Structure 1
Amino acid sequence: MAAPLIELCVEGIDGFLAAQEAGADRVELCASLMEGGLTPSLATVRAAVKAARIPVHVIIRPRGGDFLYSQAEFETMREDISALRAEGVAGVVIGCLTPDGRIDEARTKELVAAARPMSVTCHRAFDMTEDAEDALEALIRCGVDRVLTSGQRDTALEGIDILRQAVAQAGDRIVIMGCGALDAGNIKAVRDGAGLKEMHFAALKTVPSGMRFRNPHVGMGGTEKDREYELTLTDPESVRATIAAAKAP
């Protein structure tokens, strides 16, 4: 099997630079990975595009939580896509569902049309659908280029049967990009077990803040107070090891 394309999920410009230097083939640029990834600032996107030697895909997700968006939220997503297209971004990452757990085809088609000629990925909103087979056909009808999925389970190892079925169902119509707690110890098994041509992971480590003064009385945004003095960063060594494992014969 040919070596898979490796996409790194990163937070902010430092995460992008670390992933690029460690050998990623492509990056999904986000803010707030603690919430599963939100749309980053325009200045962050511009910095990444300016420094990029690899394609930059940007998540279009205005908030955490579910993928059932108000009309006002949807309009901001469409405007974000237009702004990113003007910045020379290679691709966007989207996902909209209906209340009954299906792909919102009307909104997805609208976002795909707004995005072209950028590449379009459906993120793990797919994993929250009621029926994976129906959802995949819906994304194909919408013209989406790829879908990011862990096989509707917490990890790719748990979801490997659905991943394998999705690859077979997709054929050459859409790319299945596997994800879900992938690391150097399991990525090759998932690659081979599901027959994946693209894979996605976030190699993160938590390090102490450089702050010497620490106020013990305040926690921002409802987080644990200790969290104010920790940083979650892309770990270049873990990226390199996982990429090497993924691309091993």
Structure 2
Amino acid sequence: MLIEVIADTLSDALIAQEAGAGRIELVTGLAEGGLTPGYAVIERVCKELKIPVNVMIRPHSRGFCYSEEDIEIMFEDISICKKLGAAGVVFGVLTPDQKVHNDHLKRLINAAGGLDITFHRAFDEADDQFAALESLKQYPQISRILTSGGRRSAADAAERLKRLHELTANSHLKIMAGAGLSIENIRAFLDEVPVSEVHFGTGVRVNSSYVHAIDPERVLKVKKITGE
């Protein structure tokens, strides 16, 4: 079981690593769902951590439908992440009618050449998640889809996530469950949905809030509960 933890500072990233996280999703703007962090933060975190650091590529919080200028900025961000030592990038792109934007996606994948790629929770805004999954299966460069099954909490979408997981069984894609997972619900969730990667945000923070730092004890408890 790989445990990915969201971090927005070097100290949070180091705490998560020390407590046993398997990968960091590095962001800024936690309250806005995660935006591309500053380059100095990316450089320092990638330099000091031993575990993989995947960086959010999201230029603004106004949805996942991007202009040509937005896409150009995302290209530049990806290029800089490569130079700064990121293991991967995290992005998602939709059309105005909430389908996977294949043209934009192909271009971003090409820009990412060689980096690990997560298609993020833009997937949860898709009008048809099963059609979106079939679209994403076309791209062997994409390692995983981060999703809550379209619900506010992944814990409330176990049936949908189990089905999505089953549909990726014979593909290169993994379903990484995230949003709303906690030390209280993760065991019951995994008993229903046997994913191999889980994503934690507030669930491993002091007072379950992005206002506070990562709580290493919570990360350790997640590891113990999941058998890590």
The answer to whether 1:18 aligns with 2:19 is no
Name the residue aligned to 1:217. none
Unpaired runs of 5+ residues, structure 2, are none
Name the residue aligned to 1:171. 169
Deviation at residue 67 of structure 1 after TM alignment: 0.5
Name the residue aligned to 1:247. 227
Count of residue pairs brought into register by the alignment: 223
Q: Which residue identity does 2:162 align to in structure 1?
A: R
- 8 A contact 1:184–1:243 mirrored in 2: no
Name the residue aligned to 2:205. 204
Name the residue aligned to 1:113. 110
Secondary structure of 1:232's match?
coil
Deviation at residue 246 of structure 1 after TM alignment: 2.0
Name the residue aligned to 1:132. 129
Secondary structure of 1:195's match?
coil
Residue among 36, 40, 45 paired with 2:42: 45
TM-score (norm: length of structure 1): 0.86
The answer to whether 1:98 aligns with 2:78 is no
Q: Which residue identity does 1:77 align to in structure 2?
A: M
Secondary structure of 2:154's match?
coil
The answer to whether 1:72 aligns with 2:92 is no
Deviation at residue 247 of structure 1 after TM alignment: 2.1
Deviation at residue 242 of structure 1 after TM alignment: 1.8
Quick one: structure 1 residues 65 and 242, their matched pair in 2 at CA, closer, same or farther if it must change by over 3 Å?
farther
- 8 A contact 2:58–2:91 mirrored in 1: yes
Name the residue aligned to 1:162. 160
- Farther off after superposition, 169-178 or 118-127: 169-178
Runs (4+) of structure 1 exceeding 6 A deviation are: none
Residue among 232, 236, 239 paired with 2:216: 236
Identity among equivalent pairs (%): 38
Which whole-Å CA distance do the structure 2 matches of 1:63 and 1:204 have between them? 24
Name the residue aligned to 1:151. 149
Unpaired runs of 5+ residues, structure 1, are 208-229
Larger Rg: 1
